[in-house]
Each structure stands twice: as C-alpha cells, then as structure tokens.
Amino acid sequence: MPRRNLPLLFATALAVFAGTIAIHAQGTGQAPPTDPSPAQEERARTLAKGKEIFAAAGCVNCHNASGDKPLKTGPPLNQRGLSTEDIASAVSGRLKSKTEDERRAVTLYIASLMKPKDSEEKAAAKP
C-alpha cells in the first residue's frame, strides 16, 4: 500500500468510528434526570410566584399572562427585548407596595417571557 493512501485510510476509519459512536449514543435510551435540582425547584417557585403577582397586580389586563398582547404604545411586552435591569426598574416603579422578593419574582417572570431578538437567535444558531 503506498504511503500517500495512509492518511485517507486513517480519515475513513476515524469517520466510521465516530459515526458508530454517534449511532450508539443516540440509542442508549438514557432519559434526563427526573429530579430537578434545588436551584431549578427554587427558580420554578419564584417564577410561579412572579406570575401570580403579575396577574394579581392587574398587569395581565394590558399585557396578557404571556406578555404577547399588542399595546397602543408599542410592541407587546415579550417582544421589547428588555434587559433584566430595565424590567427591574419598571417593576420597582409600578409595584412599590410589594416586597423586594416579590418584585424580584415578577422581574424574573417578565424576563422569562422575553423573546430573543433576531440577532440573538442568529448568534445562538451559529455553531
């Protein structure tokens, strides 16, 4: 066998090996862990609390529960691409009677509604 064919043979063998590993990895049937971590549980509780306060404070009247209701003053809340700081500032101004933890929960909930901007989606799609 000529030496110049050795790199081609090696590359082919490597590709077959990698493909075999990928096929077997897909078929392992391993499910993600079903028990959420304490941090995930805390985040879920905080989001639920934020959603509840968002509804009770009447925010849903203008924004809907998912923040997708078009507004007379501009695009729906979930399409505004607001930073967490912007959201926290607005929440603090509108929910002055709430505790800091309650305002933080509403801020987290609203931030979870935000759709990524087109540029963020494109950047996330690039490998």
- Does pTM top 0.85 for this prediction? no
The torsion defined by the Cα of 86, 88, 94 and 97, in degrees rounded to 10, comes to -160
Q: Write down all domains in the chain, each with its CATH number in brackets.
A: 38-117 (1.10.760)
Read off the pLDDT of residues 53-104 as tens digits, 9 standing for 90 and up. Answer: 999 999 999 999 999 999 898 899 999 989 999 999 999 999 999 999 999 9
Phi, psi of 76 (to 5 degrees): -55, 155
Token pair of 3, please?
Answer: 């030496």
Read off the pLDDT of residues 24-60 as tens digits, 9 standing for 90 and up. Answer: 555 555 555 667 789 999 999 999 999 999 999 999 9
